[in-house]
Structure 1
Amino acid sequence: MRAIILAAGLGLRLQQPAGDQFPKCLLQFDGVTLLERHLQMLDAAGVHDVVLALGFQPELVEAELKRINWPHKVEIVLNPRFDLGSVLTVHTVADAITRGGDVLVMDADVLYDERILSALVAGETVNRLLIDRDFETGDEPVKLCLQGGVPVELRKQLAVGLQYDTIGESVGFFRFREETARRFADIVAGYIDSGRANMPHEEAVRDLLLERSHVFDTADVTGAPWIEIDFPNDVARAASEILTQLRPFISLARQTTS
């Protein structure tokens, strides 16, 4: 199983002061960056094949990798046009997506409980989505809608009259089987070829789901704390509401120097 962590973006909505911007995966909570938390939990889950898709200030992320001293090699792929949509970042890692085996595609800007990753990686080869039914309505969450257990929508804005029996927020992590990952890469390439490089990669996932050519199961992670960090108030909520519910982490760098 291979994990692809998307960490290329500018993070403009965080409203960091000019000159002080840095990749969101380097946000620290209790002295541990989001990147290190990702790597530690992947390691605990037995996922050691990691590809990191970078763009904005990659040297800062590479320095953090050295500081962490994670015991496995991390493959780094650069997207020089990180100012465009995340679908282009996914396209830059197409080789890793189609290399074989199950693939995890994960946003880097998520603070989450280990139960969420456990639900994603459990079992043999499978296509899997994660849904949190306890979510705040509004325009920002990416909604996942199911009808009889089958995904019928994955979007922030739902069409009027859409029929579904379950709705929740999609956690920004997806799992694809080998053949499904190849089809996903093809769809992403179609976005680039048709001039839609400014789109979010979730749109390509949506196209894949609505083709109905690959069966997906859905793991319900309702009750497991997590937050995607896009805005300044998300940082505050992550520290005050989410972090307090998570198992304490000890930095790998701190362990090796103690």
Structure 2
Amino acid sequence: MRAIILAAGLGLRLQQPPEEQFPKCLLSFDGVSLLERHLQLLDAAGIDDIVIAVGFKPERVRDELERLDCDPFPEMVLNLDYQLGSVLTVHTVAEALTRGGDVLLMDADVLYDARMIDALVAGTNVNRVLLDRGFEAGDEPVKLCLKDGVPVEFRKQLAVGLDYDTIGESVGFFRFREDTARRFAEIVAGYVDGGRSNMPHEEALRDLLLEGHHPFDIADVTGAPWIEIDFPNDVARAGNEVLPRLQRTVGVTR
């Protein structure tokens, strides 16, 4: 199983002065960067085939990996046009998506509990998406809507009158079987070839989920602590509310 970590973005919404900006995956909590936590949790799950999609200040990410003395050293793939949409970042790692085997696709800017990795990697021959039904309402969460267990929408904004029986927030972590990963890469390539490189990769994921040819298992992780870090108040919440609740994992939390 291979993990692809999307860590190319600039994180403008953190409102840092330009001279202080750095990749969000290097945000540190209790002395441990988000990237280090990703790597430690993946290692605990037995996954050491790791690809990191970088863009903004990639040398800072490499410095962190060298500091961690990673072995094997994660593969770094550079998206020079990282300021466009994240769909282009996914397209940049298309080879890693399609080289064979199951693939995990993970946002880098998430502080999360080890149980989420456990839910993601459990079992064999499965596509999986993580769902948190305890999300806060608003325009920011990417919402996954289900009808009889089948995805019917995957967007921040929902159409009026949408018919669903379950709704939750996507954690931003996905598992693809080999054939599904290839199909996702094809959808992403269609976005890029069609002049839609500025789109978020969630739109391509929506197409994959809703076309129905590759059924997805829905892993309900409601109650497990996690937070996606986009805004300054997210940093404060991550340190004050989420970090103290994380399940203890050797080498990760203190």
- Given the two structures, how large is their TM-score scaled by the length of structure 2? 0.97
1:37 alignment partner in structure 2 = 37
AA paired with 1:147? K
The 1-side partners of 2:219 and 2:62 are apart by: 33
Give the counterpart letter for 1:102 in structure 2: D
Q: Secondary structure at the match of 2:76?
A: strand
* Alignment pair present for 1:232 and 2:229: no
8 Å CA contact 2:116–2:224 kept in 1: the answer is yes
Provide the rounded CA distance (Å) in 1 between the counterparts of 2:235 and 2:110: 10
Aligned to 1:94: 94
| Equivalent residue number for residue 13 of structure 1 | 13
- Equivalent residue number for residue 3 of structure 1: 3
Q: Which amino acid aligns with 1:30?
A: D
Residue 73 of structure 1 deviates from its aligned partner by 2.3
Cα gap change, 1:176 to 1:130, in 2 (>3 Å): same
Contact residue 65 and residue 73 of structure 2 kept, 8 A: no
Unpaired segments ≥5 residues, structure 1? 253-258
Structure 1 ranges of 4+ moved more than 6 A: none
SS of the residue 1:118 aligns to:
helix
Map Cα deviations across residues 56-91 of structure 1 (whole Å, 9 max, x no partner): 000000000000112222111000001011000000
State the shift of 1:26 in Å.
Answer: 0.2
Please state how far the C-alpha of 1:249 moved relative to its aligned partner: 6.2
Q: Root-mean-square deviation (CA), in Å? A: 1.1
What is the alpha-carbon distance in structure 2 between the residues aligned to residue 51 and residue 146 of structure 1? Answer: 31
State the identity as a percent. 74
Q: Which amino acid aligns with 2:23?
A: P
- Distance in 2, matches of 1:124 and 1:92, equals 27
The aligned residue for residue 148 of structure 1 is: 148
Quote the Cα distance in structure 2 between the aligned partners of 1:90 and 1:221: 25
Aligned equivalents of 2:100, 2:47: Cα separation in 1: 14
Tell me the CA shift for residue 247 of structure 1. Answer: 3.8
Distance in structure 2 (CA, Å) of the matches to 1:135 and 1:215: 24
Give 1:72-111 correspondences, 5 Å limit: 72-111=72-111
In 2, distance between residues paired with 1:118 and 1:219? 10
Q: Could you tell me which residue of structure 2 aligns to residue 245 of structure 1?
A: 245
Per-residue CA distance 1:161-211 (angstroms, 9 max, x = gap): 110000000111011100000000000000001111111101001001111
Q: How do 1:132-143 residues align onto structure 2 when only pairs under 5 Å count?
A: 132-143=132-143
Residue pairs, 1:60-75, within 5 angstroms: 60-75=60-75
Q: Aligned partners of 2:47, 2:152: CA distance in 1, in Å? A: 30
Number of matched residues? 252
Cross-structure match for 1:219: 219
Q: CA deviation at 1:212?
A: 0.6
Q: Is the 8 A contact 1:32 1:250 kept in 2?
A: no
Whether the aligned pair in 2 keeps the contact of 1:68 and 1:251 (CA below 8 Å) is no
- Tell me, in whole angstroms, the C-alpha distance in 2 between the residues paired with 1:21 and 1:188: 28
Following the alignment from structure 1 to structure 2, what is the Cα–Cα distance between the partners of residues 128 and 249? 23
TM-score, length-scaled by structure 1: 0.96
- Determine helix, strand or coil for the equivalent of 2:4: strand
Q: How does 1:44-59 map to 2 (within 5 A)?
A: 44-59=44-59
Per-residue CA deviations over 1:199-235 (Å, capped at 9, x if unaligned) read 1101001001111111111000000000000000000
Q: Paired residue for 1:256?
A: none
Paired amino acid for 1:95: E
AA of the residue aligned to 2:214: H
Describe the shift of the 1:46–1:153 C-alpha distance in structure 2 as closer, same or farther (beyond 3 A).
same
